[in-house]
A = this chain, B = another copy of it.
Amino acid sequence: MREPRIVTTRALGPDFAVGPAERYFEDYVPGALYEYGERTVSEREIIEFATAFDPQDFHVDAAGAAAGPFGGLIASGLHSAALAMRLLTDHYISWVASLGSPGLDALTWPAPLRPGDRVRLRAQVLEARGSASKPERGIVRTRVQLLTDRDAIVVETTMANLLARRPSSP
């Protein structure tokens, strides 16, 4: 299990009863809604990510982007999704029971993420279903949103996560 790395973000409302290092499939209860944050996204970060993975003008060239379709620099959609993922792994996904993810449902970027935006994560448990074939695990479906402090939604998706059940007491 990794050491906690959380220095800049925190729960912004009700949190799970147990921390991510003690959390198992059983702790994800449909309907529960959590928010974590915040994190300010810099122009440097946006350009650095996009230079590596998505070097379109409106992601890497601040001057050119001003005359482009978004009137300024915006983050790559995959960068926005990766920022949501970091908040999920710091706060929401168990550090001890995670067995990976088969994928996401539709991933959309309703609003662009711009330099200086402060973002927070909203995660709501939609479904928690035990596995029929593997009784020691279950699948959790979560509605994930990344929002700015003006409540613009910059990432929206539904994520599936496989999680181990809590081991029985001896």
The chain B residue sitting closest to A104, CB to CB, is: B107
Which residues from B are CB-within-8-Å of A61?
2
Q: How many identical subunits does the complex contain? A: 2
A57 pairs with B89, CB closer than 8 A: no
Q: Pick out which of these stretches binds chain B: A28-36, A75-83, A140-148.
A: A75-83
Number of A residues, CB within 8 Å of B? 40
Answer whether residue A69 sits at the interface, using C-beta atoms and an 8 A cutoff: yes
Which residues from B are CB-within-8-Å of A100?
58, 69-70, 74, 112
A102 pairs with B107, CB closer than 8 A: no
Residues on A lying within 8 angstroms of B by beta carbon are: 1-2, 5, 52-58, 60-61, 69-70, 74, 76-78, 81-83, 85-86, 89, 93, 95, 98-109, 112, 157
